[in-house]
A and B are shown apart, each in its own frame.
Chain A
Amino acid sequence: MIAERFPAVRGVEAIPFSIAPRRGAVSIIEMVVLASCIIAVIAALALSNRYAVDIMIRTFLWAGLALAWNIAGGYAGLISFGHAAFFGIGAYTSTILLLNFGVPPWFGMLAGAPIAACAGALLTQACARLRGPFFILSTLAAGEVIRIAALNWRSLTGGAEGLEIPPVPNLVDMVFRSQWPYVTIVVAYMLAMFALSAWIEQTRYGYYLFATRDDEDGASAIGINPSHTRTAAMALSAAMTAIGGTLFAQYFLYLDPTHVISPDISFQFALICAVGGLGTASGPVFGALIIVPLSELLRGLLSQSTSGLHLVIYGIVVIIVILYFPSGISGAIGRAVSRVSPAGGFAARVQARKYDAQA
């Protein structure tokens, strides 16, 4: 288990965290996102076996979760390795409400979201003066605190034995025999997260996030309260992650702190965003479409023959993407598009070069 964590940690450390350019060609990238998602669904349909559909469900769930992480990590620059805590809060809140009080997870997830939002706001306020690696390490520590608390609070969380949701198919309890209702739910979740991200990019609040991320002094000099902006971004991101946590619980029907609140999960959020393109709505989707099937397939194909080989290949792929596409796949596509289309990015770059020559 420990060995399995290494490639993810290494990858995250090596990420230069440069943000993919968002200008121009946004609609084209959005179309590519949509097309790749449709292809993924068709591929799973064509194969029509449980394993393929399972990978697809995981892919879309992780895409939505990475989009939620990206609100804090990409837009606000709050790289968090503690998001597994919010994920766990969402998963545990709805499950505990379901098992102890019979509250349907449809409502349970709406209870988990505000609790996670409060936890996120609290964490951001507590780490208000920390920047860069110090902030990242604090979030990691906070995540671990939540994990250990969940392990030891047996009466509530079942401790290390975990919680099991009875596998009785029931629409009200969000448990299904077929996989297709889950596909519908996770696709809807991902689309909602994508729409939320695309909307944030267009609004005043989104620009305030970018300003705070890029230069805090500059942001407060134009009337932006950096502390409020940051706290709101983390709270929103945490709430959305918690909703994803509930969906996770309802799909796997089993929760234990070691797997649900593990740093592994937090690293995975960051890694998907970094590979796909931080700070863009399309990046996390691309990242999930590559990372999740890749890691699942490699594990399925190689883990029995040569132990650990799948992790080596996985690590190599991650290194290649980070070395050759520093602003992620989304950034690479954006550049390719602006190279061929005369408007937008390309024209602006020529203009900029002309001015450089004059000055």
Chain B
Amino acid sequence: MYKLENMMLKLDAVGRQFGSLWAIRDVSFTVEAGEIVGIIGPNGAGKSTLFNLIAGAVVPTTGVIRFLDRTIDYGKPYRVARRGLARTFQIPKPFKQLSVRENVMLSALRRHHTPRQANSVAMATMEFIRIGELAEASVASLTVGQLKKLELARALAAEPRLLLLDEVMAGLTPPEIKEMMTVIASLPRRGITVVWVEHVMMAIMNVAERIVVIHQGRIIAQGKPADVSKDPAVVGAYLGEKYAYAAR
């Protein structure tokens, strides 16, 4: 059994029904402190619903979600966030009328009460993600890649215990992907546990320690990246023959 203090996140038979469709059904897994867990699956598999469930934005129809050994406040994402969960959105949701710096500073404001203190956290975070030069730029002027980095910077500036990353690599150039892989791989050393949805296999297979594969709302495989990529069910549902050969 997992030791209690190591338990970051525990999903127990979680399901969510939209109309007659089960977007997520009977999903159970645990995430330990300091892990990087990757979640993969085809489009429409339920990955984003899963994130919305964990973040408290969507109320589960069945099951229990525990974060830091306490059941989360379903439907109250701000309460879950205050307990140390940060997330990025697949479609970036920046505060459009504010500058990049103000966007990042805002999420540091909860822990650092004055804008001045929060600002220094924001500047450090932007340097870490390498968007320091964009600090005073308006959000409207950013490229897709820069918006993705802003999402990550904003999530990190909240100094979370658990970080949910939703396709942070989409729209990035290959050198930027390399850069971002280094950033994500270094997060556990900063005391941040990562749950990460991604379609860029090269990135997630190399950085994540464990992969959970979701298909039609259910977990069809989980384990080490090398094992998962050879699993026939996963190859059939998502990766395709070509990737299986390449992984071999």
Contact = CB atoms under 8 A, between A and B. Distances in A.
Contacts of B195: none
Interface string A212-251: 0111011111111110000000000000000000000000
A352 B154 CA distance: 19
B18 to A, nearest CB: 18
A202 B115 contact: yes
A219 B102 CA distance: 13
Nearest to B118: A204
A177 interface: no
Contacts of B94: 214-215, 218
A214 B98 contact: yes
Contacts of A214: 94-98
A190 B127 CA distance: 41
Contacts of A224: 78, 110
Contact of B93 (A207, A217, A344): A217
A169 to B, nearest CB: 47
B96 A222 contact: no
A67 interface: no
Contacts, number: 111
A210 interface: yes
Residue of B94, B113, B115, B136 with most partner-chain A CB within 10 A = B136
Contacts of A348: 99, 135-138
Contact of B78 (A202, A210, A223): A223
A222 B141 contact: no
Contacts of B105: 207
Interface in B75-122: 76-78, 81-82, 86-87, 89, 93-99, 102, 105-107, 109-110, 113-115, 118
A351 B137 contact: yes
A21 B137 contact: no
A226 B93 CA distance: 15
A279 B110 CA distance: 23
Contact of A355 (B76, B96, B99, B133): B133
B91 to A, nearest CB: 10
Given A207-B115, A218-B95, A353 B89 contact: no
B115 to A, nearest CB: 7
B97 A207 contact: no
A356 B141 contact: yes
B57 A217 contact: yes
A119 interface: no
Contacts of B110: 222-224
A220 B110 CA distance: 12
Contacts of B146: 355, 359
A55 B166 CA distance: 57
Interface string A326-359: 0000000000000000001101110111011001
Interface in B134-191: 134-138, 141-143, 145-146, 154, 158, 173
Contacts of B96: 214-215
Nearest to B95: A214
A221 B145 CA distance: 21
Interface in A191-221: 202-204, 207-208, 210-211, 213-215, 217-221
B136 A347 contact: yes
B115 A221 contact: no
Nearest to A204: B109
B141 A352 contact: yes
A244 B93 CA distance: 37
A23 interface: yes
A344 B105 CA distance: 18
Contacts of B77: 217, 220-221
A203 B97 CA distance: 16
Given A204-B109, A223-B158, A359-B145, A351 B134 contact: yes
A56 interface: no
Given A218-B89, A222-B86, A356 B143 contact: yes
Given A211-B106, A214-B94, A221-B77, 18 more contacts: A204-B109, A204-B113, A208-B109, A210-B95, A215-B93, A215-B95, A217-B93, A222-B107, A224-B78, A224-B110, A279-B97, A348-B99, A351-B136, A352-B137, A355-B137, A355-B143, A355-B146, A356-B143
Interface of A: 19, 21, 23, 202-204, 207-208, 210-211, 213-215, 217-226, 279, 344-345, 347-349, 351-353, 355-356, 359
3 interchain residue pairs of minimum CB distance = A348-B136, A352-B137, A214-B95
